Structures are given as structure tokens and as C-alpha cells.
Chains A and B, each alone.
Chain A
């Protein structure tokens, strides 16, 4: 992959970002960004869902539990929802959840909410790059990952049961893909 101008900390921290996106707008927009060959940070793993209305706050919590340093939630602009009102409901829920996270000490800067339509490939690129830059600045979310004292993150996935048994080293998937370089 060609080099991009992904901001990165000198210590080589590659943030892991999970994006929960709506099938009808943002996913198509991200697809457009790809087919338009827009260069953007490759730290984002996209999970496609039918609608932002399907995105539960538990998705964000689970992403953090499983090693995400940041989360993007994105869907159709108001009035554009494929199911008429899913994004309006999501807007209410996440308006509250964002405040709740903030109150509990989870920096809301780690979670980006955005509207990206199917034609906004360029906007998706900006959302991705800005989120990656912001989360890279904040550093790894070890505070959450290490809550139970058993999770290894930050580019070193915890060995699965089979890797551990065979003693084989797990290649760093981020290394392999030259993520964020």
C-alpha cells in the first residue's frame, strides 16, 4: 500500500479503530472512497450493519473490550434513512451515550459519530484520517483493555489457544499490512 500521511506517534503506535457503519450510506461511501482510490489511514476495520438504528451502545463497549482504541459510528444524514427514522433514533441514543461515556471517564474523543452519505467518499476519508489522528494522539486505550487484567493489545494480539500450544509466533497483522505507514 502506498504511503499515506497518517499521523502516527514516534513510538510506532497504530491505533485500532472499529467502524460501525450503515449499509446504505456510509458503507457505500467508504466503497466509493476505495474505488476512487482515495488514500487514507488503513487502521479502520469496518463492520457493516443495516442501519445506524441497529447500532447498540454495547457495540462500542464490546469494541473497546476487544482491543479497539477508537470507534466510528456513521450512517445516513438526517432525512436520508433507508428505513425512514433509524438514524433519528440512533442520534438520540448516542447523544445520551456519549454524555454517559464522558461522565464515566471514557474520553468521548475516542468515538466519532458522523453522517456520511453514499456519495461522500471524500468525507469518509476525512472522518477516518481525523479519527485516526485524534486517537493516535490519545494513545492506546490500555485503561479499558486492561480492566480485567488479561487483555494484551497495542499490536500484540493475545495468543489464541492453538498458537500458544504449538509455540508458533503470531505475526503482527498490523506489521504485515504496513498499517498506517
Chain B
């Protein structure tokens, strides 16, 4: 913690960064913090409640963050994957951001929870984590933390759904998507939903009906998932932002597994590795094509 605060003080005092984006203690657990003066550096914290993917603030759709000057962002390994996604897609250049990596020992599901990691509280995204020490960073702080308890709950749920008939899956998803109010919080919370103008906001032609009936909801959620296929880092911010509790992580995780199976691709924190959609191999699988 001291290391992080000292570094923040130094970056702000030297003028290397205009703002350091990290986490602070809030009324309901950890929350994102924008530190602009060295005196405030002591507000910063990092523990298992620091769930938020702060790479979201590097998203070019957020001009209010840009106004604060060059950002230094505290990233966990999984957050660094989202930064790599933005770099890969030319939404960000590496010299425009300072990345402060923190060694992570897993996070809990929501920032309001106590910072105790058990199999019941650990976030599903920590399952199979391969980046507990972020690589794509300028500074690496914090001591190595013990490996978190892991839970394959998400993959188990997907396997359960896969075992159902299409009709039963349809019933499951219609009951889930019927709740959707089309507030688009899932889009706003996503660090990789960075289109200047989202297709769901376009009306001429209107590909996705904006009313929150099931037909529009299906079009939206199919499109959201498809557009994130092979790009989603699985941070689960969409699901956490969803006010009606649609299990979006199921869809995202399913597509991660599909992309792994079809193209042998796992989302990575190396911005030089191209994303699978937009690239191709001549010998891609094509059993589904007649």
C-alpha cells in the first residue's frame, strides 16, 4: 500500500501524471478514486474488494477523464488485458498512459463484500487466472499474494445450460432477457465497448429495436455478445452493472470457451497478438458449413 501511495505522490508531484486512477475506501466498500494532488495519495487502497476494472476510464468514450491530464491507472492483471485490448484496437497509445500494476490474489464478487476470499465469495473471473502479476505495466507494486480459492461455478452453469435442449435454453434466456430494460449499463461499464456511436443507438436503418421488448432485447444481447467475441476479457463489469441481474457473464464466458475451441485463442495482455475476429487462418474449422 505504501509503495502504491509513494509512487502516486511521486508521479503527481513530478507532473508525470495528471491523475492517478485507483481505488479508495467508500461508504459501500471500495470505489474508484481519481487522485489529482499528491496530498490525496494516502486515500488509495488495494485489497480483494478492488473489483472495478479501471481500464474503463481509458475508454475514449470517456472524455471527462481525458480532461484531467495524462492518466496513471492502477491495474490488476485482468484489467491489463482490457488495456491491451484498447491498445490492440488503436483506441489508446502506450505513451499516453502510465500503468501501475498491482500483484493480485483474487477479488471478491462485489466491492461491498468483506475482503475475505473463500470459494463462495471469490469472483468467477478469478478461475483460471493466468495474470496475477500484470506484465504490460510501467510500475509493479505490492507483494505477491497467495493464490485465491478458485471456483468453476460459471463453467459448471454453462455445462448445465449446454446439456439442456434448445427449447429449454430458449426459455431460460427469454425469462432472463425479459427483465432487460435496455438501460445499456452493460455497454457503459464495458472497457471494450468503445464505438463512437453504438449500433443500438442508430435509427437509420434501425438494426436493433430500442424498445425493451424481448425482440429488441434479443437483438441487443446477441449483438453485444457477438461484438465482444474474442475481445471480452471476462472482467464481469457488465453483469455487475446490470440493474436487473441478467447473467451476462454466462454469455461472455461461453464465447470465450467457443473462441478457445474454434481458434485456440485465449484473451491475452499482449497487444501484439491479434484478436481472433478480424483475423483468420486458411485452415479454420468449418464442420458447420455444408
- Which A residues contact B (CB, under 8 angstroms)? 57-58, 61-62, 65, 78-79, 85, 88-89, 91-108, 112-115, 127, 130, 143-144, 147-149, 151
Contact = CB atoms under 8 A, between A and B. Distances in A.
A121 to B, nearest CB: 15
Contact of A148 (B214, B225, B251, B284): B214
A58 B284 contact: no
A99 to B, nearest CB: 4
Interface string B209-221: 1010111101101
A99 B284 contact: no
B278 interface: yes
A100 B170 contact: no
A154 to B, nearest CB: 16
Q: Which 6 A-B pairs have the closest CB atoms?
A: A105-B170, A105-B169, A88-B280, A147-B215, A148-B215, A147-B214
Interface in B199-242: 199, 207-209, 211, 213-216, 218-219, 221-223, 225-226, 229-230
A113 B289 contact: yes
Contacts of B207: 58, 62
Contacts of A127: 290
A61 B280 contact: no
Given A95-B285, A112-B290, A103 B280 contact: no
B218 A147 contact: yes
A92 B282 contact: no
A91 B280 contact: yes
Give the interface SS of chain A, mostly helix, strand, loop or mixed.
helix
B162 A103 contact: yes
Given A92-B277, A147-B213, A148-B214, A104 B290 contact: no
B170 A104 contact: yes
Nearest to A116: B290
Given A58-B219, A89-B278, A92-B263, A143 B286 contact: no
Contacts of A143: 170
Given A103-B169, A104-B173, A104-B222, A91 B255 contact: no
B166 A100 contact: no
B161 interface: yes
B68 interface: no
B280 A95 contact: no
Contact of A92 (B166, B167, B280): B280
Given A99-B258, A100-B254, 19 more contacts: A57-B223, A65-B209, A65-B215, A88-B280, A88-B282, A92-B276, A93-B277, A95-B284, A98-B288, A100-B225, A100-B226, A100-B251, A100-B258, A104-B222, A105-B167, A105-B170, A105-B174, A106-B166, A148-B213
A130 B223 CA distance: 28
Contacts, number: 123
B140 interface: no
Give the interface SS of chain B, mostly helix, strand, loop or mixed.
helix
7 contacts: A58-B207, A62-B207, A95-B285, A95-B286, A102-B166, A105-B167, A148-B211
A151 B207 CA distance: 17
B172 A105 contact: yes
B37 interface: no
B152 interface: no
Contacts of A104: 169-170, 173, 218, 221-222, 251
A100 B229 contact: yes
Given A99-B255, A100-B255, A57 B222 contact: yes
Contacts of B279: 92
Contact of A113 (B162, B168, B208, B288): B288
B280 A85 contact: yes
A112 B213 CA distance: 27
Nearest to A112: B290
B273 interface: no
A98 to B, nearest CB: 5
Contacts of A144: 215, 218
A165 B62 CA distance: 49
Contacts of B216: 148
B259 interface: yes
Contacts of B173: 104-105
A96 B262 CA distance: 8
Nearest to B178: A147
Contacts of B226: 57, 93, 96-97, 100
